[in-house]
Amino acid sequence: MHPHDCRQKFDCKRIENFLLLTLAFPAPTALVDPIQIPDTLGALLLPECTLFPHGALPLHIFEPRYRQMLTEAVEGSCVFCIGTLTATETTNLESCTAPVGTAGLIRASREDHEGRSNLLLHGLCRVRFVEWLGEKPFPYARVQPVKSTPLEESVIGERTRSLREAVEAILLGLPDELVSEVRKILDRAPEPEVMADAVSQQFVQDSDVRQALLEEQSVSQRISTLVDYLRTVRSGDN
């Protein structure tokens, strides 16, 4: 299968692991106030890795530079960013990193006897990497929260229904217990933007589509892209 072919079948075990993380560390019930995000943050840069606000990402930190980043984060705000490498990492980070990433909060972290750590990062909000700073041994940037363009009141109901219908179509054939838990998570979403991010975190497996959804500021366009993707996946499974 081509790495960017979105006609993929969903892995029940992967969904189950996501549900365990979500239930253990539930997402905020409202959008995060961007004021809570520091102006400068460390960034863990990985290829084809995207964290969405309200999503959970398990990480294994072993590189010395990122171990230092984690130490500083834990001693400070407990926040660092996930950024997506678009090419082989070089000293010119602007040329090899996607412009938008996600600031995440460390929700759980355990260090082993060799100094490596397993942790869970919980997505807070989209951030734009405004300027890469060279003062740290790890990627370190001036960041700016990315504000979404909200849905107009008149289309909230229609957009919410179309997204739920697309997700329900994807859930057909999955075990009843998983379907029930996914529905509970969607029901907890306070607004369509949060629901779209939760669905993107779990059900979008194409890395290019994930990054496009992360960078899209319009909630309406974000939901349209997501619904189109889910429908394509569903038609590819039939």
Give yes or no for a contact between 51 and 198, defined as CB atoms under 8 angstroms apart.
no
Q: What percent of the chain has pLDDT over 90?
A: 66
**pLDDT on residue 29:** 43
Domain positions in the chain: 12-27+149-237, 34-145
Tens of pLDDT along 41-81?
999 999 999 999 989 999 999 999 999 999 999 999 999 99
Whether residue 176 is predicted with pLDDT greater than 50 in this model: the reply is: yes
What are the backbone dihedrals phi and psi of residue 237, each rounded to the nearest 5 degrees, phi first?
-80, -20
Please determine, for residue 31, whether its predicted confidence score (pLDDT) is greater than 90. Answer: no
Average pLDDT across the chain, whole number: 86
Architecture of domain 34-145: Roll (2.30)
Residue 4 near residue 206 (C-beta atoms within 8 A) = yes
Among the CATH numbers 3.40.1350, 3.40.30, 1.20.58, 1.10.3470, which is that of 12-27+149-237? 1.20.58
* Structural element, H or E, at residue 156: helix 156-171
Look at 143 and 187; give whichever has higher pLDDT: 143
Same-fold call for 12-27+149-237 versus 34-145: no
- Cα separations in angstroms, 120 against 20, 107, 135: 12, 6, 26
What is the per-residue burial (b if ≥16 Cβ within 10 Å, else e) of 36-65? Answer: ebeeebbbbbeeebbbbbbbbbebebeeee
| Phi, psi of 47, rounded to the nearest 5 degrees | -75, 140
